[in-house]
Structure 1
Amino acid sequence: MAWLGCIPLLAGLLGIVFIPGASICLLAGMRPRYVVALAPLISMSLVSLLPVLFAKFGMRWSIGSFAGTFVVFCLAVALICRGRARWPQRVALPSALWIGGVVAWLGHVLPAVIGRSPRTPIQQIDPTYHMNLVWFMANTGNGSSISAPTRMFGLETSETAAPSGWHDLVALMGTGRVVEATNTMAIVLPTLWVVGISLLAYVAFSANTKLVVWTQLASLVFSEFPTILQSSYPVWPNALAIALLPFACAAMWMAIRDWRAQKHSALGYVGVGAAAILITCGIALVHPSFVFNMASLSVFPLLYLLIRGIWRSPSQRRRKSLLWLGGVVLVVVGASLAMFTIPYVSAVAARMMSSYGGEPAIGIEAILKIVSGATAHKEGTVVPVKMSQALMNVCGMVLFIGAVLMCWRRRDKIVWLSWLGTAFIALIVYWRVPGVLGMIGGFWYMNAHRVIAPLEVPATLLFGLGLAQWSYLLSLLLKTVFRAKNAAGLSRAITLGVVLVAGFSAGIITKNAFYQVVYNPKSDFVTIHMSSPEIAMIERAQKKIKGPVRVIGDPTNGSAMMQALGGVEVVFPQMYYRPSNTNEAYLLSNFDKLGTEPKVCDLVRKYNIRYFYYDSDKETFGKTGQVKDDGIQVPPSPKEAELVDRGGTARLYKITACRSS
């Protein structure tokens, strides 16, 4: 199986995500339960922040430089925290947790790998940008979020900054296997998700093994994350930031619980606050949505804990605390509103509110989608998907009802409040509420996919409670009506069987279809622009093209993938290009004048453009993107270029008309 060849990549990526942070936590003397929660957060903060420093000091971003810096960090922490290091003791987790975790992991991973090769690239707009930026980072050694993205927007253009922590992580795997490394992230994210949601359930439910296992299995009901955010709506950096949310929530939950039980100095508050800010800044360089998602998940629980703490305090202190709390709320609200009066901020907010078109989904449908955990897609892509997705949606609704019924047995207020905060944002987005509330929804680009995915963090816990409740009610039925001797065990077995059919089996069918629709070259999805023969031709390019040369072509017809998949730099590495880049705009419009217009050859020589990618297919919708210039759409004559290779309707030419004079 081709995916077995990706085991070293999987081990490398997971090792980078967990080992640095875990080592630093252990050397610092942290409690073992904090190590699991903080390890990926600290590791990804290092992966995101270090490239910025490396670029400032002229250091290359590579696995060697990262490993060396990590060793220095460990030595520094060991010296500072000398004598405090704690080495993990062997902890025997219940076998049920391992089984539940493996089943949940397989339910998310199998759909990502069945029926496709790790060498086959996704055919979507944003992933083309992400994969080519990874290639540039690995090739140039510049991983800084402040400067590395610049080349993606032009050969000669203004410096461009963009959060690039996801790209920094994948770039550590090198230039030769960019597509395989990015595809392997489809296994890394479910691993992070299952571990994180298991940890959060363990913390939230006070180590109740049964509830943790039910939560693990409940995660199978969801298609939005991690599946859709890695396939039919691929926002890879955003998805990685969402996968880190359960770890951050678990760490915050434990910290608040422990903090209230102990007294701390002002220095302790400063230290914890500084560490939290540094980690948050690092994860924000993976994707800024991490900050907004954490805010929506935690604002109601934090307000509840503050008000409860004030209410339980002595009367004199209560009044003073209420005044302080009211003042802080007024300042925060006032400052937030004042920010929107700044022209730049209001312009950005307006753009984010209108970035994605669509009609408001006002009505019961939006509410049903939110409470059932249904995908934000309007419908499935093929008939089996519609059927299996509908089954999963019904299961989600049933589990939500079970969670509501569970409120009579136990009160998980924090989980419910966390869900309410993000569900409120989801309703704003679905209904496309205007005004100030719309500006809040604008932080999620008023796009349901981006808010339904983080909503899964508390929703998965609630659905786990729902499974437990229905299992309990079934046991009562078996005991009272059917006089079953082992009613509890029998009810758990029946519930597990239903989960395996509805969540696991139907889930694999549904989720695999979402991957196939954007990975299968034979798919009729709107963004598909390369056939299998074209992909094979691009893969052969790295053997046929030698040296630091560039390829030019319409990026929407497959030429952009010459970089990440073919290993050759392209002039246009993403579907979008800046019209203000006059030289590139000139080439797009006038490339058909190759050999007759001196300026074309001047630019070809200046930028070392040696090859031209042409595709005669003008009908496939995925090949008709933003680039409309006729000049780049005309095949060259034999006098101007010689054919090097062909694949499907695509041709690769070597430019001969502009030899050095």
Structure 2
Amino acid sequence: MSWWAALPGALALVALWVLPGWAVTRALGARGIVGLGAGPAVTAAMLGGLGVLYGAVGVRWSLGSALTGLLGVVLLAAAAGALLRRRSVGRLVVPAPGAGVWPGEWFGPSSSSSSAASSAWWRGLALPAPFARAEAAGLTLALAVAAVLIAGPMVAGMGAPDRPEQAWDAVFHLNALALVRESGNASTLGALAPMYGGGRPYYPIVWHAMAAVAPGLSSVPAAANLQNLVLGAVVWPAGVAALTRVAVRPVLPALVAPVLAASFVAYPTVVLTVLAPWPYGLSIAVLPGALAALVVALRTPWMWGPKLAGTLIAALALGGTVAAHGSGAFSVIAVAGALVVVVLARQARHWWAGRPRLVTVVAVACAGLFATSALAVARFPALRSTLGFERGGADSYVPTLKKLLVDAPLVYEYGDVGFGHVAVTVLAAVGAVVCLLRRRARWLVLGWAGAVVLVLLAAGPVENPLRGLTGFWYTQAARIAPLIVLPAALLAAVGLTAVGDRLARLLGGARGGATASGGPRALVASVAVLVMVVATSGGMRWGVKERVTASVYEPGQIAWGTMLTEAELAMMQRLPDQLPADAVVLGDPFNGSAYLPALAGVDVVFPQLGAVQGAHARTLESSLDQIRTDPAVCGAATALGVTHVYTDNAGAADGAKVHERTAAMRALDTSSGFELVDSGGTARVWRLTAC
């Protein structure tokens, strides 16, 4: 499959992720960049709810049913928006000096044609002033540049849109995607039961639900790859721009933030490729847009209609972040928890003078609700499993801190990644100083520092009792690192515009003329600094991102060992015509056989690399080499309906992925009791006749 052939499917995914949620936010009053940035998070919430609803009533999940449900939600939002607008009055409200938590102008008068209204909040939702035409063009250009800088190296590293990623979690998610397509069930409550041996296990399946109905992408790997590209290169930068616009207020930081965010390897490259927890990657992709909606809701005046509309949008967006992956709730707390606490505390203090009893009742009720929710969540089996995940750590925090300074991957060892990211780190530090000195957006500094602490705790000594705080992210530093990226990108944008403003002042003074802060010279200086950062970082570290991506896509270069070679991939494409429809294949999942459901539509005994479920499966895993001498082996194979066996004699010395758990499966003797069906490279598929 060529990239040109995949382009229509990618554009369709962009539309599916952005438009439904954008339509809902617009119907409820959120216009401009906020609606655009928060739209995908709202879409995620809609998909999560529809999946559970359809699963409960027996409606098959398909593109048609998904679109019908999304349209229904949009119509409901339109009706709700019309009702809420009757409570609103259309006039401007300008906050008093020093009121609120956010600034109007940071660096003096803006050169923007919309600067006259930049500190004015529309009565209704507290949205930033609309972009002027030139500003909108600048934002479009910035988002396009960010998309190229993020997607370009990933595309180069993938090689082809339908090439499967070879990573532990990727195997699971590709097969889960294939299962959703086959079963027509996209409910988080039990859709993946066949992969867990039955029951109704909870699993966040929003990522799979959308990829399963991707138009024109019949290939499972292509749907997965293109969706990840859309999330990383389109959804994420748009959310970053939206959050910057509402958190920082001036226009220029919102224009440069998406490009600066493209410098980071920790997200989206590492998370969406070598790490591969794709539902978590979706949760991070929609996080900035959801936080933008949260900021708007907190800032909106306490009038019934507007406040309810803003709260509803924020609830949907934050709900989408959590629906994408449960850890999204803790990601929101880690990045913006300080903001919420400070704003609500200030509002409570303001109300205390006239309504102390009401404030007390509300505070007690909120505390009780929080405690009850915390206790209920703590008893959730999935959360207990996550918190109980054991992972080793380093003896010192210093190596991880060094990696954070240059944004080196915190998973696998890629060697020297250079110092191309140092400029962005310095700009983020400058931005943090600016925020602290000007007493503006200090919650970004707290979020940045808190995320750094969490990463260090996860990667550091295991005996630290505070390390338990990182259990919400499987105690994995690479999973927490994206929480550093988000505030760091915004702070770097503040730092860059501050540097540009200072340069403009110096140049203006040198020429004997006064230069207004934030004027045309500041714009030119800021763009010049940004161009220098892009140039000195090697195209925002294009080579590093391509290398990381190739390490899970290019056979022979796969981190932790290759599971599929090109010859084996070709064989899998032939198998649907060579195996019966009811075939069940038994094979070592680490040698590539686990990819058969996703690549060939063939059932397997082991569809994932994780712990084996069921006594029969465990017997086959531990004793397959005794198939001729131990009747229990044939008994287990018969019980599971095994018809074929997949073998691969490549070992660790050949660069293949091996695991001690499946040593007996690699030792299988196929000299008798097996009939060859097809071969590719070192892999063979046999018809089982020994049982």
Please state which band the TM-score falls in when normalised by the shorter chain.
0.7 to 0.9
- Give the deviation of 1:398 after TM superposition: 1.6
| Aligned counterpart, 1:619 | 652
Equivalent position amino acid for 1:468 in 2: T
CA displacement 1:294-332 (0-9 Å, x = unmatched): 111222112222333345567575x76886798679768
Rounded to whole Å, the distance in 2 between the matches of 1:545 and 1:280 is: 46
1:472-525 CA-to-partner distances (Å, cap 9, x unmatched) read 333344455688999646634531331221345251111111101111112152
- 2:425 matched residue in structure 1: 397
Verify the 8 A CA contact 2:406 2:420 in the aligned structure 1.
no
State the shift of 1:592 in Å: 4.0
Q: Secondary structure at the match of 1:221?
A: coil
Q: Deviations over 1:238-288 (max 9, x none)?
A: 111001111111101111212xx24228xx877876775566455423211
Displacement of 1:44 in angstroms is 1.0
Cα distance between partner residues in 1 of 2:375 and 2:639: 49
Is 1:457 equivalent to 2:486 in the alignment?
A: yes
Contact 2:54 / 2:60 at 8 angstroms: preserved in 1?
Answer: yes
SS in 1 for 2:274: coil
TM value normalised by structure 2 = 0.82
2:249 is equivalent to residue 249 of structure 1: no
Query: Which residue of structure 1 lines up, in the alignment, with residue 124 of structure 2?
Result: none
Name 2:182's counterpart in structure 1.
139
CA distance in 2, matches of 1:134, 1:374: 31
Indicate which of 639, 646, 656 corresponds to 2:679.
646
**Which string of whole-angstrom CA distances, capped at 9 and with x for unpartnered residues, describes residues 82-131 of structure 1?**
68899xx9984532212211111111110110141112211111110010
CA deviations 1:540-598 (Å, max 9, x no partner) are 2233334232211000011011221222221110012435x111122334444557766
Secondary structure of the residue aligned to 2:661 is: coil
Paired residue secondary structure (1:443): helix
Instruction: Name the structure 1 match of 2:323.
Output: 285
Structure 1 match to 2:303: 263
**Map of 2:222 onto structure 1:** 180
- Indicate how the Cα distance of structure 1 residues 595 and 373 shifts in structure 2: closer, same or farther if over 3 A, else same: same
| Superposition deviation, residue 438 in structure 1 | 3.1
Matched, 1:168 2:168: no
Unmatched 5+ residue regions in structure 1?
none
Shift of 1:368: 5.7
Deviation at 1:466, TM superposition (A): 1.2
Distance 1:106 1:583 in 2: 49
Amino acid at match of 1:528: T
Question: Residue 59 of structure 1 aligns to a residue in which SS?
Answer: coil
Q: Give the 3 Å change call, closer, same or farther, for CA 144–315 of structure 1 in structure 2.
A: closer
Work out the CA distance in 2 between the residues paired with 1:79 and 1:469.
44
- Equivalent residue in structure 2 for 1:530, among 555, 564, 567: 564
| SS in structure 1 at match of 2:586 | strand
Cα RMSD for the two superposed structures: 3.7
- 1:471 to 1:447, Cα distance in 2 relative to 1, 3 A: same
Between 1:60-69 and 1:271-280, the stretch displaced more is 271-280
Paired with 1:338 and 1:412, the residues of 2 have a C-alpha distance of 32
- Retained in 1: the 8 A contact 2:648–2:684? yes
Cα contact 1:104–1:194 (8 A) shared by 2: yes
- SS of the residue 2:481 aligns to: helix
Matches of 1:346 and 1:561 in 2, distance apart? Answer: 28
Pair 1:100 & 2:142 matched? yes
Q: Residue 273 and residue 27 in structure 1: after superposition, are their counterparts in 2 closer, same or farther (change >3 A)?
A: closer
What is the match of residue 268 of structure 2?
226
Change (3 A) 1:478 1:23: closer
Pair 1:561-2:590 in alignment: no
TM-score, reference length from structure 1 = 0.85
How far apart, in 1, do the equivalents of 2:381 and 2:597 lie?
37
CA distance in 2, matches of 1:85, 1:337: 35
Where does residue 119 of structure 2 map in the other structure?
A: none
CA distance in 1, matches of 2:540, 2:320: 37
The match for 1:502 is: 536
**Contact kept in structure 1, 2:38 and 2:292, CA below 8 Å:** no
Q: 1:100 to 1:569 in 2, by over 3 A?
A: same
Q: CA deviation at 1:615?
A: 0.6
Counterpart code for 1:97: L
In 1, are the aligned partners of 2:33 and 2:241 still within 8 Å (CA)? no
Contact 2:257/2:492 (<8 A) preserved: yes
Q: Is this contact kept in 2: 1:47–1:165, CA < 8 A?
A: yes
Instruction: Measure, in 2, the Cα distance between the counterparts of 1:49 and 1:575.
Output: 29
Matching residue within 150, 161, 180 for 1:118: 161
Partner of 2:67: 67
1:52 aligns to what?
Answer: 52
* C-alpha distance in 1 between matches for 2:25 and 2:350: 35
State the distance in 2 between where 1:79 and 1:321 align.
Answer: 32
Q: Write the distance in 1 (CA, Å) between the matches of 2:58 and 2:426.
A: 57
Q: What residue identity is the alignment partner of 2:455? A: A
Q: Cα–Cα, structure 1 residues 176 and 322, in superposed 2: closer, same or farther, change >3 Å?
A: closer
Q: Using a 3 Å threshold, how does the CA distance of structure 1 residues 440 and 329 change in structure 2: closer, same or farther?
A: farther
Instruction: Answer yes or no: is 1:210 the counterpart of 2:239.
Output: no
Structure 2: how far apart are the matches of 1:94 and 1:337?
42
Change (3 A) 1:247 1:597: same
Find the counterpart in structure 1 of residue 555 from structure 2.
521
Following the alignment from structure 1 to structure 2, what is the Cα–Cα distance between the partners of residues 464 and 14? 26
Gaps of 5+ in 2: 87-129
The answer on whether the counterparts of 1:591 and 1:600 sit within 8 Å (CA) in structure 2 is yes
The answer as to whether partners of 1:299 and 1:421 remain within 8 angstroms in 2 is no
Q: SS of 1:609's equivalent?
A: coil
1:540-551 aligned within 5 A: 540-551=574-585
- Structure 1's 303 and 420: CA in aligned 2 closer, same or farther, altered over 3 A? farther
Q: Secondary structure at the match of 2:390?
A: coil
Residue 358 of structure 1 and its aligned partner are, at CA, apart by 1.3
Partners in 1 of 2:136 and 2:188 — Cα distance? 42
Partner amino acid, structure 2, of 1:294 = V
1:7-86 aligned within 5 A:
7-27=7-27, 31=31, 35-77=35-77
Aligned to 1:306: 344
Q: Secondary structure in 2 aligned to 1:252?
A: helix
In structure 2, the CA distance between the partners of 1:249 and 1:71, relative to structure 1 (3 Å rule), is closer
In 2, Cα distance between the equivalents of 1:273 and 1:81?
A: 12
Q: Is the 8 A contact 1:373 1:452 kept in 2?
A: no
Q: Deviations over 1:434-493 (max 9, x none)?
A: 676333222122222222202222211101011112223333444556889996466345
Residues 297 and 307, structure 2, Cα contact 8 Å, conserved in 1: no
CA distance in structure 2 between the partners assigned to 1:55 and 1:410 by the alignment: 49
Contact 1:534 1:647 in 2 (8 A): yes
Question: Which amino acid in structure 2 is aligned with residue 253 of structure 1?
Answer: V
The number of equivalent residue pairs is: 637
Secondary structure in 2 matching 1:231: helix
The percent identity for this pair of structures is 25
Distance 1:595 1:500, change over 3 A: same
Tell me how far apart the structure 2 counterparts of residues 345 and 434 of structure 1 sit (CA, whole Å): 26
In structure 2, the residue corresponding to 1:654 is in which secondary structure? strand
Q: Letter of the aligned partner of 1:526 in structure 2? A: W
Q: 2:498 aligns with which of 450, 465, 469?
A: 469
Equivalent residues of 2:496, 2:526 under 8 A apart: no
Distance 1:487 1:160 in 2: 58
